[in-house]
Chain A
Amino acid sequence: MTKGIYGVIAEFDNPTALVSAARAAREKGYRKLDAYSPFPIEELTDALDLHKNKLPLIVLIGGIVGGILGYALQYYVTVVYFPINVAGRPLHSWPAYIIITFELTILIAAISAVLGLLALCGLPMPYHPVFNVPRFALASRNRFFLCIEAADPLFDRDRTCEFLETLEPREVSEVAH
């Protein structure tokens, strides 16, 4: 970023303060902002309008792929690759295929849920600018943070700091890159 910092961050004591701060920042017109909390907060998801994500679609596709893969594997092995004729019973014995089809559906769907989670969150990401804020270690304990990023068109180093100060945080600090 040309401005040299990642953004400014404000620290709050409780989830209520964080949610109202996030709402106020959205109302003010800031869009490039993120909140950090030690546990998921439903209202924060609402305030930042984060309800839509692609994970259900990824898992659905994973499940369908898994199911098709499971059935096709069994069909191929028992009908094409390694057919065994037992007393003239049909080679394509679909009722016996159900369980493995089901298990592979669950398996691939679950794996895509976890990989999808990591991909959508951009993890693993061992380094992130917010970690430069010394007090940020408390974000995984008992403090709540709101960060307005420098990439926001409305961002201005001083005015954004002043705005965050009006939200009555414990502390406002700049986030270095």
Chain B
Amino acid sequence: MQALVQQLIYGVQLGSLYALIALGYTMVYGVLRLINFAHGDVYMVGAYVGFYACTRWLPFRDLAANPSAGPTNIALAVVALILAMTICAILGALIERFAYRPLRNGLNDGDAHFWGFVLALPLAIKFGPLVSFRGLALLLILGIGFGFALRPVMRWLRRRIVLSTSRLNALITAIGVSLLLENGGLLVFGADQKFIGNVVPETNWNIAGIQISSGQFTIFVVSLALMAALRHIVLFTRRGKAMRAISHDIEAAKLMGIDTDRVIAFTFALGAALAGAGGVMVAALTHVKVSPLFGLLPGLKAFVAAVLGGAGNIPGAALGGVVMGVAEAFVAGSRFSTYKDAIAFCILIIVLLVKPAGLLGKNVAEKV
């Protein structure tokens, strides 16, 4: 019994994390009917921001040498969390602006300049490390140069391309962005794995034989707090109202004077911030290795969680995440631990067969 409760607690902890990532998938699906496969890689970027914040950027002090540094380090850890959320939010908005928006509205000069910088990145890294003056200067010069060179190309493309409303285009683009982030991560961060040591004081609590670590507890509590904040934004703010309006009917929302592009970018930023928070917390509190493929499996499982709960449904994503986490913990704790990743997909298949719209999704007929 005790072992059972223990596995349940691990499952809920794991599930809260899946839920946090799944929210990003489900919100984007809600407004655009798009599965943003790059979302798991945003989680990876969050972990890397956490790594650099904890080891380079912020003045964390070694806890083993200064036991009294605990409170300052906790404050710095909050700064690292906010930093990761901010950078990921910007990244999420950038992905929307330069990968998905051109599919809806066509290309313009802004796109030319952005892709100019993307092209300049590998060259700049080849001739100087990115953090050095030489690397940055090269990036700047080449980026601007490529940008102007690409402008006529983009204009030509704009005239040639017939915009399609097919969702498949966006889906394939999402896979492309995911690959770009993973391999870009290899280029920028390197393939070797990185570890974040102990940055905040850690303890284990033993409550009636049940073990709970402070790190896992923090992840759980912060995830809940972020989900509550998200609920508030979606239900009680003007932006949230606009998001809900778009998810009902994007054309009608436009007619009502809603700046849909801005709201969609905001939705991406919001989801990405949550994923970034998840990434930095996992890397800093559970000390797992951070590598460019850090987001691959968690991202996939969160995607499954989102579909499980009903794509586009925010409480559904949270529920789906917890179901996935608990199922995984119970399988991993049994004799069949090898199958713990496969079980996620088996659950998905069964739920979709019984309830095609997901656990909390409404099965509404789409109008043509």
A pairs with B: no
Chain A positions within 8 Å of B, measured between CB atoms, are none
Chain B positions within 8 Å of A, measured between CB atoms, are none
